[in-house]
Structure formats: structure tokens, C-alpha cells
Structure 1
């Protein structure tokens, strides 16, 4: 069985009297395509915020590649190889995709704020930025300001930024949320083609994406793990159909 790269045990998050995450344990294995699903309010984004350090856990432990990271700040977790995307784009509106990726690649390579020079003088930065532009179908809009890009292109840029950070663990928080139907296929294909060596934890409501992408699934309900299994096991699970999908006697259509 493949190595566990990210895990949490007994993770709890309380907001006053509200228990948002209740004794959650989860393992993400190397190279996995693992989906985290559940109804609205199940605690999915809270769990991602705990894993990435945006929120402090009330109780429990988080480990990345065997090292306890429970007390580390978000930027320290990124440096150790765990990167996330967000439900809402967090991009520089007036920068172009080329400039944005040049900045991220330069910082990743220790060149700091010299990125504008690096694009012209550092062949490695320019080549990596161009590679990412092509991989994420952004080459034709490389010099357009981000605020003028179609929404699907902005989502692609956000994932490209995450991959530019050279993650070993990538957390995708609803990558197709808000993307119009006509722009979704390009994004779905790009997510499916992410590097095999990157272990991915995906939060998504789009069941077509979930079942085409995931090799393992965890179902959260009311802040707790309801069940975990392969896509086939989840699709056939009567608890999932009753509690998550709201009906008992029909199959999950994928």
C-alpha cells in the first residue's frame, strides 16, 4: 500500500458551542486522487482550513509526510509542500497570467521580488512560466490582465499558481464552482491531467467531476466522517444515498 503523505487524527474544531469538525481522521496516500464530499455545512472547507493552518484545531493532530505540522503557520506548510486553491479566486486583477506565474516561479526559486528581471534574464523562470501557461490552456491569454479573463480561465490560473509552488500535496477547493457550463470541460480535463506524483485532495459538489477523478472518497456529514471507500463503494452505499443525496432507492448516477 502506498505511503501516507497527509493525515489527520481526531481533528476537532469548535466555534463556541458549535462543533464544526468532530473527531475527523483521514489519510491521503501518495499519488492519490481523493475526494471529500458532503452536503453544504458538512464541514468540508473547515477541514481544509484546519489542514492548511488557516484555522487552529481545537483538538487533534495533523501530519505531513510523517512530520507533525499541527502548530505550523500556513506559509510554513506551503514551504513543506502543501498548497491549496480557494472557492473564490484570489488573484492579482491587474497582472497578466505571464506576470503572475513569473512572480510565483521566481519566489519558489528564491529570487524574491526580482521576478520582473527574472522573466527576461532567467531562462529557467521564463521556460517554467511558459510551460505552465501551455499546460493550463492560458498561452493565448498570457498577456491579458487577469480581471479581463473569462472565469474559467481564472480558475485555471489559480490551479497553475498552485502547481508553480511545486506541491507534493494539492488541496483543490471546488475548482469548478461558478464556472459556466461552456468553460467547464477545459478545466475538468486539466484537473484530470495533474501530475501523477502530486497527491490531490478535492472538495467538489460536481459529482461528474468527483466520480471521474477520484480513486478514494470520504463523505462528511455534520462535521464527522460518515464513510470512506472507493467510488463504486460510495455510489452503492445506502447511507450516502439517504443522508448526502437525500434519497434511498436510486443509484448515484455518474
Structure 2
């Protein structure tokens, strides 16, 4: 059996008497395009926080490429290849697009203290930045301040920064949230072009995006794994329709 890119085993999180996550057994296969959905209050944010080390579980395990990462701090998980984007952009205020990419690449390669040197002075960084700018449609805005970019470009920059970390597993938390309708297609097109070397878990409430992107879907309800299957299986599942697709609030 293939080793999962990311796995949880009997994952639990309690806050006092509240069971926020209950016995979640989840597998993200290598190269997967997997979506996590669920109604408001389903526990998606808690689950992602447990994966990334923002929260520590009450019991259970989180396993990245066969290695338990329980107890590792967030930055150590990133260095091991588990990278996350956020529902609300986490960009570097005051830096340009190129400066932001240079900072992340320099930090990844152990040169964080020296990131302000001209990019051409550090072998490979200038070339890597140019590739990222091109791959994410940012080549015309490299000298712009991050927060001055149109919101769709900000989302693309955040994904580019995540890819600059060289993830093996990428958690995309509502990557099209807040993006104008005209730009949403561009954001998802760039995501769909990401290398199959990166296993992707998409947390999303827009079902059109989910059905167009994912090849497998997990449904979380009240902190527990409610259903899982292919896109067709989830679309036909009457229980899922009743709790989520049939009109329950998205979130």
C-alpha cells in the first residue's frame, strides 16, 4: 500500500466538554487533489490547525509521509514540507512582490538574515523568483507593494509564496475567498497547474470550485468525518445533500 502524503489516526481535540474533532481518520494520497468541505461549525479550521501545529491534539496522530509530526512546531512542519495558505491573506506589509519572494526563498535556504542583498548576488534566487513570477501571472507586478495589488493578484502571490517553501503537501484554505468573480477562474487555473509532486488539500465552500478541482472529497460534520468519496459519489450522496449541499450554510 502506498504511504499517504498526509494522514491522521484517531485524531481528537477537546476544549473542556466540547469535542471539536472526533476520531478523524484521514488520508491524503501522494499527488492528490482532495477537497475538505462541511457546513459552518463543522470543525474544518480546528482540523487544519491540528495538521499545521497551531493546535496540539488531545489524542491521536498526524503523520507526514510516514513520519509522526505530533509535537513539532509550525515552522518545523513547514521545513518538512507541510505548507498552508490562509482564508485571509498573510502577506508582508510594505514589501514588494519580489522582496517577499526573496525573503521566503532566503529563509528556506538558510539565508534569512541576508535576504536584502540584491537577488542577483545570491546564486539561484533571481532565477527562482523569475520562474515564480511567470508561473503565477505576476511578472508585470514584481516591483509593486504586496498590499497595493488587486486582490486576485494578492491571492496568487500568497500561493506563490507557499510554493517558494517547496511544499510536499499544500493546504489551501479558501484560496478564492474574497476574489472578484472575474478573477476566480484565473486563481483556480494557476492552482490546477501546480505540479503533481505536491499533494493538495483544498478547504473550500464554493462547490463549483470543489467539483471542478478535486478528485476526492471528504465531508466534515460536527468535528467528525461524515462522508468521503469521489466527486460523483459525494454529489449523489443524499446524506451529504441534506446536511450541506442541499442548502445548509457553507463555511
> Which bracket does the TM-score occupy, shorter chain normalised?
over 0.9
Q: How big is the shift at 1:176? A: 0.6
1:96-107 mapped onto 2 (5 Å cutoff): 96-107=96-107
User: Which residue number in structure 1 is paired with residue 26 of structure 2?
Assistant: 26
1:81-100 maps to which residues of 2 (within 5 A)? 81-100=81-100
State whether structure 2 residue 121 is matched by structure 1 residue 139.
no
Query: Is the partner of 1:141 in helix, strand or coil?
Result: coil
CA distance in 2, matches of 1:34, 1:217: 6
TM-score (norm 1): 0.94
Alpha carbons of 1:17 and 1:121: their partners in 2 closer, same or farther (altered >3 Å)? same
Q: How many residues align?
A: 248
Do the aligned partners of 2:3 and 2:66 also contact (CA within 8 Å) in 1? no
| Matching of residue 159 in structure 1 with residue 166 in structure 2 | no
Equivalent in the alignment of 1:6: 6
Stretches of 4+ aligned residues off by more than 4 angstroms: none
Residue 105 of structure 1 aligns to a residue whose secondary structure is helix
The corresponding residue for 1:46 is 46
SS of 2:241's equivalent? Answer: helix
Report the equivalent of 2:235: 235
| CA shift for structure 1 position 247 | 5.8
Query: Do the aligned partners of 1:103 and 1:113 also contact (CA within 8 Å) in 2?
Result: no
Q: Indicate the residue corresponding to 2:120 in structure 1.
A: 120
Gaps of 5+ in 1: 249-254
* TM-score of the aligned structures, taking structure 2 as reference length: 0.95
Once the two structures are superposed, residues 32-64 of structure 1 have per-residue CA deviations (whole angstroms, 9 ceiling, x without a partner) of 011001111111111010000001111111111
SS in 1 for 2:196: coil
Change (3 A) 1:188 1:119: same
Q: C-alpha distance in 1, partners of 2:12/2:90?
A: 27
**Cα offset for 1:151?**
0.8
SS for the counterpart of 1:78 is helix
Q: Is the 8 A contact 1:31 1:198 kept in 2?
A: yes
RMSD, aligned CA: 1.4
Provide, for residues 7-29 of structure 1, a one-character-per-residue CA deviation record: whole Å limited to 9, x for no partner: 00111111222211111110011
Asked whether 1:74 is paired with 2:74, we answer yes
CA distance in 2 between counterparts of 1:3 and 1:135 reads 29
Partner of 1:246: 246
